[in-house]
Structure 1
Amino acid sequence: MIIEVVRSGFVESRHRVRAIGLGASGDRVIEYGEAGALVSPRSAMKPLQALGMLRAGLQLDGELLALAAASHSGEDFHVEGVLKILGSAGLTEDALQCPVDLPLDPEVANRLLASGGRPSRLRMNCSGKHAAMLLTCVANDWPLESYLDPAHPLQRVIRQTVEDLTGQRIAATGVDGCGAPLFVVSLSAVAHAFRDLVLAEEGTPERRVADAMRAHPEWTSGTTRPEAALMRALPGLLLKSGAEGVDVFAHADGRAGAIKVEDGAVRARVPATVALLRDLDFDAPELAELAAPAILGGGRPVGHVSAQTLTQGRP
């Protein structure tokens, strides 16, 4: 799959995308590029990290569980949720080890700065995950200072959970932007893992994660984010994005997929995801705008982003 950025009739850039699509039965029905190759899914792994925390005794549900699996926009309600999680552990913002950052949402960031606010750990997009990690540690009487160490009991549980759900041994362990361990697996393995989340029995830890995220999409991303828009447009869809051009999704009927923009271009991610969703026969009116976002010049539309799938990868 190729994502083209067109400005004033000229193809300004092209971005190659790897993708895999699974049918309702779980069979691979679409493949662009080598979906079995290793990737670093980045924040797309957060639902699996949240599952590992539930398996370790984390007691969260609803919007706060969605926040534990979120790359949130740093809106006020996200911050309030993080403080609730920390408060239930008897902790404050000082216990967080994610970096200080501004909100991901530009308007929220501008309002914060205009009112005299400053970057903080609470506003950092991974603070919900970090707060939930700390709460899990408190529940197990595990050390708090080293909760991001790959050898920490919490991270060992999360690693085992990722291997269980993906069905693969982790090929490599790195450090994510927030400081937490990140795991390298194949793109296809993550798609299958998301499928297992949505198809699990109701009430299981797997379904609790999927159901919380689907019921509260604004808590997993933000009120204006395309991830939330896609989940609202396609009821039953679980979707999580990751840095460097990753999206992974699964639907209640068993269809699932994952994309990786090879050069990590953020602008190409959502159109590629919409193209894969359409390849899997999903449709909704909202997909049209997300599929071809406008390119602006001087504040007015002068081009668009679109997916070119001239050779469809059907096995």
Structure 2
Amino acid sequence: MKKSARQKIAQLSGRIAVRSAKLVELWRGGQRESLHRGHAVICDDKGVVEAWGDPSRIVFPRSSCKMVQALPLIESGAAEAAGLTSRQLALACGSHSGGRIHVEAVAGWLDGLNLTEPDLRCGAHMPRDRDENRRLTCSDQPPCQFHNNCSGKHAGFLTLNRHLRGGPDYVAPDHPAQRAVKQTFEEVTGETSPGHGIDGCSAPNWSCSLEGLARAMAAFARPGGDRRGRAMRQLVDAMRAHPELVAGEGRACTVLMRAMRGSAAVKTGAEGVFVAILPDQGLGVAVKITDGATRASEAAITAILLHLGALEAADPAVSRFLTGPIRNWRGLVTGEMRRARGFPS
């Protein structure tokens, strides 16, 4: 069989590139209408346990790695010095909906540091929270940076920056706070990052392999007794205790963590990334949907959590994100999401 130029290049580099796997399908009228391909990896502390697609695929974790970005906040002593609570640690790991519960918590956090909203570098956007969105819209009031879904992470950066005595531009890649994040990211993933992109909140986002991301989540699932292990445990415990601060009402992270009754922590990221931390099993999971679709990443992580026994098939969360019918505006059933054949095995 004649090899393509891409295959020849891959062979010369010592490796045949692995294609993405079929993960999630949408069916309508008895026909497959859409297909979402991607990559998924399950790791334990020894390495890959199961994988679909290419575990070595390089990805930007986006917001799925916020717990990794929050590690220097605790390891440096900044969190203890500032007297941060588990609620604030959950916010540091979260991509919140910008509801009053989130806005007031971040505002209070900065006030405790004698800082104000302009000290943030995340930018402002309209909140996903329905009530707060309506309040701003009806009052013709613009959103502020507290509404940004990453404002909790940035409050963590500001807390770390205060401890490190860095300059005000804490999102610059060469800032002491971001250098600490990069070093921690590479240590936890076990890889040297190929580079970084700028996230939607203006902070650097370092890339890694999907296996590296799953390996990092496995480290959070079974942390050691050293300083890093204690910091990992604090962050996971905070996420499990306060799922409403990690995302918000109706959001996948919050709904799934509640469904698992605190037995696991999950975190979404933009462009079809989703991770899970399962302490009881010592497993870490990472998913990347190649077309970046959120609906597919939510379905894929739900399928894997079912596969691992972390979710019960009868739980409403499973129906909501994976098995339930799709309805139109009149309430008529028009289709359904399905796991692609062989996923999970």
Class of the TM-score when normalised by the shorter of the 2 chains: over 0.9
Deviations 1:66-120 (CA, angstroms, capped at 9, x unpaired): 1011100001010011112211211100111112101123453133312433222
Please give the alpha-carbon distance, in whole angstroms, between the structure 2 residues aligned to 1:249 and 1:267.
Answer: 16
How many pairs align? 312
Please give the alpha-carbon distance, in whole angstroms, between the structure 2 residues aligned to 1:14 and 1:107.
Answer: 34
What is residue 35 of structure 2 aligned with on the other side?
14
- 2:171 is the alignment partner of 1:148: yes
Please give the alpha-carbon distance, in whole angstroms, between the structure 1 residues aligned to 2:243 and 2:46.
Answer: 24
Residues 299-308 or 168-177, more deviating: 299-308
1:139 Cα deviation after fit: 2.1
The TM-score, its normalising length taken from structure 1, stands at 0.92
1:227 Cα deviation after fit: 0.8
1:231 Cα deviation after fit: 0.9
What is residue 23 of structure 2 aligned with on the other side?
2
Higher relative contact order at CA 8 Å, sep ≥6: structure 1 or structure 2? 1
Letter in 1 for 2:286: A
Unaligned runs of 5+ in 1: none
What root-mean-square deviation, in Å, do the aligned CA atoms of Structure 1 and Structure 2 show? 2.0
1:37 Cα deviation after fit: 1.2
- 2:246 is the alignment partner of 1:220: yes
Unaligned runs of 5+ in 2: 1-21
Deviations 1:201-227 (CA, angstroms, capped at 9, x unpaired): 578111111111111111011122111
Contact in 2 for aligned 1:58/1:132 (Cα 8 Å): no
* Partner of residue 109 from structure 2, selected from 66, 71, 85: 85
Letter in 1 for 2:265: L
Secondary structure of the corresponding residue to residue 122 of structure 1: helix
Residues 210-219 or 191-200, more deviating: 191-200
Secondary structure of the corresponding residue to residue 300 of structure 1: coil
1:171 Cα deviation after fit: 1.1
Please give the alpha-carbon distance, in whole angstroms, between the structure 2 residues aligned to 1:114 and 1:8.
Answer: 41
The TM-score, its normalising length taken from structure 2, stands at 0.85
In structure 2, the CA distance between the partners of 1:2 and 1:57, relative to structure 1 (3 Å rule), is same
In structure 2, the CA distance between the partners of 1:11 and 1:69, relative to structure 1 (3 Å rule), is same
Please give the alpha-carbon distance, in whole angstroms, between the structure 2 residues aligned to 1:129 and 1:199.
Answer: 23
Please give the alpha-carbon distance, in whole angstroms, between the structure 2 residues aligned to 1:75 and 1:53.
Answer: 24
Alignment of 1:155-174 (within 5 A): 155-174=178-197
Please give the alpha-carbon distance, in whole angstroms, between the structure 2 residues aligned to 1:305 and 1:55.
Answer: 45
Secondary structure of the corresponding residue to residue 50 of structure 2: strand
Deviations 1:138-168 (CA, angstroms, capped at 9, x unpaired): 1222111x21111000000000110111111
Please give the alpha-carbon distance, in whole angstroms, between the structure 1 residues aligned to 2:186 and 2:308.
Answer: 27
1:29 Cα deviation after fit: 2.9
Please give the alpha-carbon distance, in whole angstroms, between the structure 1 residues aligned to 2:23 and 2:29.
Answer: 19
Please give the alpha-carbon distance, in whole angstroms, between the structure 2 residues aligned to 1:82 and 1:239.
Answer: 21
Alignment of 1:12-51 (within 5 A): 12-22=33-43, 26-51=46-71
1:232 Cα deviation after fit: 1.2
What is residue 117 of structure 1 aligned with on the other side?
141
Please give the alpha-carbon distance, in whole angstroms, between the structure 2 residues aligned to 1:301 and 1:171.
Answer: 48
Matched-pair identity in % = 36
What is residue 233 of structure 2 aligned with on the other side?
207
Please give the alpha-carbon distance, in whole angstroms, between the structure 2 residues aligned to 1:136 and 1:248.
Answer: 25
* Partner of residue 263 from structure 1, selected from 291, 309, 316: 291
Please give the alpha-carbon distance, in whole angstroms, between the structure 2 residues aligned to 1:283 and 1:131.
Answer: 32
1:267 Cα deviation after fit: 1.6
Secondary structure of the corresponding residue to residue 137 of structure 1: helix
Secondary structure of the corresponding residue to residue 108 of structure 1: helix
Which of the pair has more CA radius of gyration? 2
Contact in 2 for aligned 1:255/1:280 (Cα 8 Å): no
Contact in 2 for aligned 1:55/1:205 (Cα 8 Å): yes
1:243 Cα deviation after fit: 0.1
Letter in 1 for 2:301: T
